[in-house]
Amino acid sequence: MNISLFLIISSVLTIFYFFVGLYASKNIKSTSDYFLAGRNLGLGSIAFTLIATQLGGGMLLGTAQEAYQSGIYGILYTLGMVIGFFILAAGVAAKMQTLGVSTTAELFETKYKSASLKRFASLLSVITMSGILLAQVVGSKALIIGLGVQNEPLFIGLWIFIIAYTMIGGLYAVVLTDIFQVLIILAVFLAIFGYSIWLEPSSFFTWNGLTAMQSQFAQTKMGLSEFVATLSMPILFSLIEQDLAQRFFAARTKTIAGLSALIAGICLILFSLVPIYLGAKAKLLGLPLIPGASPLMPVLELLTNELVLVLAVCAIIAAITSTADSLLCAISSNIALDFDLSWTGVKDPVKRSQVITLFIGTAALLGSYFVPQQIIPIMIESYAISVSCLLVPLLFAYFKKEVKKSAAIGAVAAGLVTFVAIQFWNTELPKSLLPVALSLVAYLICDRNSGN
């Protein structure tokens, strides 16, 4: 690849993102402006930014990586997220928009009347999203390794710019850059996909073609436990995920919230064919991979010329960026809005939020050097603890007018204890949903037997 051309184009784009952050910062006068864009986002803005939250390391790089290993099973993560979006569109997103809160954890205080539960829920949310953010950093590292460039300054410089514009402009900057980034991703990768299918049109979209392709991945068939976890965790986490909920909280109306989730789900399931196809094709062609690299790079090098390859790499970086900035903003909102940070000495809440964003981004960058270099497994493991503890009480808080603090405590405790216990249970049985089931049982028992 022409590294000089890549550096020129990517530098122009990252500088553009930075100036978008500066522009967005002019309208920030409160934490509501910083984290929720004044609760005034329209359908196009919400739909684009929802798509952008998922077109990152998990959707593009991670799905291609999984398709390289398991063929069509690589679609499981995206399929789970899309099902989650459809459930959100069926009423959950609209309900979120009407709650009048800034974080999902805040519901433990407004509905269950427990500040302690709110802080605990926010802590779990921060831990989960930090793991997902780490996966994006790992994804960018895999991309750079795939270029055949061991360039730490390039890797670090990319993340400095991502952190900088998110820190300066908050959610509004994230939404503005998301729109631009999604357009780049769709234009470049749909063009590459269409060209590749045109060259080899007969096999990919037929049942016989898919069956023949998958037969070559038989030796890498995943176990039942991994299958269930990879499909179910994205579905369940999407219903409580702060970076998604933040968009619905920021929507102008509940209709916009619900319709944007539907549009995003449809777009994501259609686009998922691209990384599945490219990842599987890399394996079937026997293209060699550098350890830790993404399979996208060798197959893109085979299918494209230098200019298109550079544009594709810039589009992948845009995908990673569009998810990472969303996570940075969401993690910062949990910390800034759910905890008392007056002890920090920073009186201006907006400046305090910006400092938090800077700290979280820097910690994620440093943490990427100490975690496994596989994207989807990091994300699935990150989802599990929040889903185990928070899913049940939050769903009841969304839809039930009268809820009891004791029921929420029972659900969180049962989910947490079960989640910890199954870490020591070595079995191929699908154990990922057990904490959720026991959390629900505990909630119902405590709700029935308590008068509080």
Does residue 392 fall inside a structural domain? no
Using 50 as the pLDDT threshold, list the residues of the chain that sit under it: none
pLDDT at 214: 64
Residues 6+ apart with CB under 8 A from 61: 139, 142, 143, 275, 294, 296, 316, 319, 320, 375
3-state secondary structure (DSSP) of residue 217: coil
Find the helix or strand (DSSP H, E) in which 434 lies: helix 434-449
Residues in the chain: 452
Domain at 70, CATH number: 1.20.1730.10
Does residue 451 fall inside a structural domain? no
Would you say the C-alpha torsion 270, 272, 278, 283 has a positive or negative sign?
negative
**What domain range is 313 assigned to?**
3-386
3-state secondary structure (DSSP) of residue 423: coil
Q: Which tokens belong to 247?
A: 């968009």
Q: Could you give the number of structural domains in the chain?
A: 1
DSSP annotation of 103 reads S
Q: Are 337 and 35 in contact (CB under 8 A)?
A: yes
Q: Where are the alpha helices (DSSP H) in 200-253?
A: 207-215, 224-238, 242-250
Residues 6+ apart with CB under 8 A from 118: 105, 106, 107, 108, 109, 338
pLDDT at 291: 62
CA separation for the pair 277, 312 (Å, rounded): 15
Backbone angles phi, psi at 314, to 5 degrees: -65, -35
Does residue 428 fall inside a structural domain? no
Residues 6+ apart with CB under 8 A from 182: 48, 51, 52, 55, 318, 322
Does residue 301 fall inside a structural domain? yes
Would you say the C-alpha torsion 111, 113, 118, 121 has a positive or negative sign?
negative
Query: Is this prediction's pTM over 0.95?
Result: no
3-state secondary structure (DSSP) of residue 268: helix
pLDDT at 257: 92
> 72: buried, middle or exposed (CB in 10 Å: 19+, 13-18, 0-12)?
middle
Does residue 101 fall inside a structural domain? yes
Distances (CA, A) of 42 to 88, 266, 302, 375: 17, 18, 40, 32
Q: Are 230 and 72 in contact (CB under 8 A)?
A: no
Does residue 42 fall inside a structural domain? yes
Does residue 124 fall inside a structural domain? yes
Residues 6+ apart with CB under 8 A from 359: none
Does residue 117 fall inside a structural domain? yes
Q: Are 403 and 112 in contact (CB under 8 A)?
A: yes
CA separation for the pair 279, 66 (Å, rounded): 7
Q: Are 51 and 264 in contact (CB under 8 A)?
A: yes
